[in-house]
Amino acid sequence: MFSGKLLFSVFNTALKSYSSKVVNIGNSKTFVYNVINSKYFSTEVNVVTFEDIKKIKPEENVVLIDVREPLELKETGVIPGSINIPLGEVEVAFTQTTDQVFLKKYGKPKPAPSDPIIFSCKAGIRSAKAQTIVQNMGYLNVKNYLGGWIDWDTNKK
């Protein structure tokens, strides 16, 4: 139905409005992207592509977070440089975890609210939820890798 496109929908509860966008992201994939955004009045969602992920240099202060479950990572692999915080742990990791515990548990410093953060998952749905969670906490520079692991694995060759 939407082959090669992303159906993007946002319901903004503060404005009681709903909007949708269809974004072309490839020839053979279909993604449905829904976000509930209750804190911000913008329906704009920051997204990144395979090319954006590929350009990240290790010395950059970008935190790439894979929100899939650890078993999924073992079965498929990971995007190089990413850390794993399963979706169910995201809120606690960002609100109740000290900087020292975050570093010890996830292997990277806990991002500040202005630091660049990119969430990924298998196809972009769970990472969109994680993006919304941390944006609602006041993090300002949060993006979602729409294609997620499926896109990375397809294009990494």
Catalytic residue list: 121
Please name which of 89, 66, 90, 70 lies closest in space to residue 153, comparing C-alpha atoms. 66
Q: Is 122 helix (H, G, I), strand (E, B) or coil?
A: coil
Report, in angstroms and rounded to the nearest whole number, the Rg of the chain calculated over CA atoms.
15
- For 80, how many CA atoms within 13 A lie in the half-sphere containing its CB? 7
> Up-side HSE of residue 134: CA atoms within 13 Å toward CB?
35
Pairwise CA distance, residues 42 & 40, whole Å:
6
